[in-house]
Structure formats: C-alpha cells, structure tokens
C-alpha cells in the first residue's frame, strides 16, 4: 500500500486523491462481494488503509484531510443511501399491532442486551452502564446489513421494515440514555470537578 500511495503522490492535485480514495473503496467493496461478504466490509478495510496517509496537495503537505476531500461525494451518496432505505420501508406495518409488538420487543432486547454488554468490560474506573448505553444505537451499519439481507431474500419486506424501525428507535434512545451517564466518564468527571471548583 505505501508504494501505491507514493505513486499517487507524484500528482499534487487534490482531485487525484479524491478519485484514488473512491476507487479504492469501491474496489475493496467489490472484492468483499466476490468473497461472499457485505460490500461494507471491503469499504471499511479501504478506510483503515487510508486512515493515516500523508499526502501532498500542491506544495503543501496535508494530513488527516482525505475525509474532507471525499466529503462532497460522500454527502451525495449518503443521501441517496438513506432515501433508498426509507423508500423500501412499508409504513403500513405500523398499523398492525402484531408488528408493533415485534418492533417494541426487538427494541427492548436491543437496549437491554447492549446495556448488559457494558458490564463485560474488565478493570476499574469504567462506567459500564454508560459503555453499554453507548453501544445501543445501530446507526447506518445496521441499515446496511438490513438492506443487504433484504435484497438477498434473507427476510421479507415486513421484517425489513420492522428492523429499520428498530434501528431508528435505538438511534434515538441511545443518546437519550447515554447523556446522563457522560458525567461518569473521565472527561465528564473533569468538567464536573472544574465546575465545582469555580
């Protein structure tokens, strides 16, 4: 990988780095598909490879700004992704008490299981409940796997819609539960102690 980065660095234009990062992510995503994995896995590996790359734009050495170069493209793609996810959701399932029960049950299981997982953290001085609450939100990763399973016929549209609703609810519930626990994290303790001293 360093050799490839060196070759790309011979060109000082920022557009080359933008295209290189995008092509690398798409290539690794396709390799993941060939391996029978979700494209997200390949794109994630590409992101890890590019995470700590120093590169030149013009005569200036840039560091940790590759994300800024790709941001205009990622903003468009992320918008298309979320619109596509939402367009496949069947909102009429919200009128079915049976599916409302499934959504509620899965949300409770997601919250309780992640909250309990925080207590698996070893060592002293950790707010285990806060760590568990921090893992509650499923976010876009959960949506990616839900869409992947739906398009490959793992489950039907009703189940897909229920899973998307659970992801949405956990994304909302997680920060609400986590916010009161932030005071128990090291940085939160410092802020609280500083406020008391003043």
Q: What is the DSSP letter of 95?
A: G
Q: What is the DSSP letter of 88?
A: T
pLDDT at 30: 92
pLDDT at 5: 59
Instruction: Provide the residue ranges of all domains of the chain, joining segments of one domain with +.
Output: 2-80, 91-197
Identify the segments of the chain with pLDDT beneath 50. Answer: 61, 64, 191
pTM of this structure: 0.67
Q: What gap in Å lies between CA 153 and CA 165, rounded to an integer?
A: 19
pLDDT at 190: 55
pLDDT at 144: 81
Beta-bridge partners for 54: 63
């Amino acid at each position: 990988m360093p050799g490839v980065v060196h070759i790309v660095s011979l060109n000082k234009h920022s557009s080359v780095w933008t295209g290189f990062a995008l092509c690398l992510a798409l290539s690794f995503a396709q390799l993941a598909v060939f391996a029978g994995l979700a494209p997200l896995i390949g794109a994630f590996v590409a992101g890890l490879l590019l995470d700590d790359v120093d590169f030149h734009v013009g005569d200036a050495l840039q560091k940790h700004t590759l994300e800024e170069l790709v941001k205009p493209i990622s903003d468009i793609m992320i918008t298309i992704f979320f619109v596509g996810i939402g367009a496949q959701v069947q909102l009429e399932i919200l009128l079915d008490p049976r599916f409302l029960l499934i959504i509620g049950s899965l949300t409770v299981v997601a919250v309780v299981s992640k909250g309990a997982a925080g207590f698996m953290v070893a060592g002293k001085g950790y707010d285990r409940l806060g760590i568990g609450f921090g893992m509650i939100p499923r976010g876009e990763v959960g949506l990616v796997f839900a869409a992947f399973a739906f398009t490959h016929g793992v489950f039907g549209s009703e189940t897909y819609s229920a899973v998307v609703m659970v992801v949405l609810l956990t994304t909302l519930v997680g920060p609400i539960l986590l916010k009161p626990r932030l005071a128990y994290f090291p940085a939160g303790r410092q802020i609280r102690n500083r406020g008391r001293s003043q």
